[in-house]
Amino acid sequence: MNTWQDSIVELIRRTSAEIPDDVQRAILAALEREKKGTIAASAMKIIEHNIALAKQKSQPICQDTGSVLFYVDCPAGFDQIAFTEAARAAVKAATQKGYLRQNSVDSLTGKNDGTNLGPGAPTLHFHQHKDAGVTVRLMLKGGGCENVGAQYSLPDEGIKADRDLAGCRKAILDAVLQAQGKGCGPGVLGVCIGGDRATGYEFSKTQLLRRLDDRNPVQELDKLEQDILNTANELGIGPMGFGGKTTLLGVKITTANRVPASYFVSISYMCWAYRRQGARFDATGKILDWLY
């Protein structure tokens, strides 16, 4: 499993130090859009410079290297236990190399043993697929933006949201309003309509694995995504909440079935330091190509 371990260390390095192309393009477009000479434009300039510097120095884009979340698609018979061990060893090694900050705290004792290993750290999601190859995606999810995520239970009287798409729209836009710039905006929303509380949040996170420039194949959801994106960018919250034209870089929405009694809208917020990468691997663990 040594090849696996080395490959995963490289996946972690690349995820932590290099923003994916689709996000980079969205950030450049946002910089163009902001009025020259405003504090919003200078914030975007610093963000752009920071992205270039991190890549050049192979250093973390943001010092909060976040929760380490792996999403693994693998064929039947793939040794998930061995993979988990390799991933844990890689996380520890990547921490020693400084690609990850010592960022994981025991919730009971408050202790940080500096390894980034512990219950739920890292988190691995396995999915079996028909393909013979293995695909691993990695997301480093920062704390500041995770803190502004929200889950609404509809109907919600406070925001006058009923159990319909209009109600979902109100809930999602309320989350944008409440978040302001606190999640290090401009950000990206991953949203799930429905599900139980845990599934709702899980699905909202996996929406953040989608490319920013893709379109939702479900017409109603595609419409809602574009509508939320445009409306949020008309609110004037702007980068860092300084005011400005770019509040969000993207919105991705999915659904999960719900029981008749529940109607959750779960929203995960990803900061501009959008760290996700992925690769296809051969059976020995060699990286074949990058996904984003």
Partner 1 sequence: MNISTPLNEAAVRKLKVGDAVEITGVVFTGRDAVHKYLAKGGELPAGVSLTGGIIYHCGPVVIKDDAGNWKVTAAGPTTSIREEPYQGDIIKKFGVRAVIGKGGMADRTLAACREAGAVYLHAIGGAAQVLAEHITKVRNVYFLEKFGSPEAIWELDVVNFPAVVTMDANGNSLHTEVFERSQAELAKRL
Q: Which residues bind partner 1 (CB under 8 A)?
A: 39, 42-43, 46-47, 49-50, 53-54, 57, 59-64, 98, 101, 142, 144, 147, 160, 170, 173-174, 177, 180-182, 184, 231, 234-238, 240-243, 271-273
Q: How many residues does the chain have?
A: 292
Q: Give 145 or 228: the residue with its C-beta nearer to ligand SF4.
A: 145
Q: Give 46 or 82: the residue with its C-beta nearer to partner 1.
A: 46
SS3 251: strand
Q: Give 42 or 255: the residue with its C-beta nearer to partner 1.
A: 42
| Chain position carrying tokens 């988990």 | 84
Q: Report, in Å, the least distance between residue 187 CB and partner 1.
A: 11
The helix (H) or strand (E) run that includes residue 139 is strand 134-141
- CA dist 45 and 239 (Å) reads 11
Out of partner 1, ligand SF4, none, what residue 47 binds, judged by CB under 5 to 8 A for its kind, is partner 1
Out of partner 1, ligand SF4, none, what residue 177 binds, judged by CB under 5 to 8 A for its kind, is partner 1
- Given a contact cutoff of 8 angstroms between Cβ atoms, the answer to whether 251 and 185 are in contact is no
Q: Report H helices in the chain.
A: 2-17, 21-33, 39-57, 80-96, 143-146, 165-179, 197-206, 219-233
Q: Give 193 or 270: the residue with its C-beta nearer to partner 1.
A: 270
Q: Report, in Å, the least distance between residue 245 CB and partner 1.
A: 12
Q: Report, in Å, the least distance between residue 28 CB and partner 1.
A: 16
- Give the C-alpha distances (Å, rounded to integers) separating 118 from 88, 92, 125, 262: 9, 11, 16, 33
User: First CA to last CA across the chain, in angstroms?
Assistant: 25
Q: Report, in Å, the least distance between residue 62 CB and ligand SF4.
A: 3
Q: Report, in Å, the least distance between residue 19 CB and ligand SF4.
A: 11
Residue ranges that bind ligand SF4, judged by CB under 6 A: 62, 64, 66, 142-145, 183-184, 271, 273
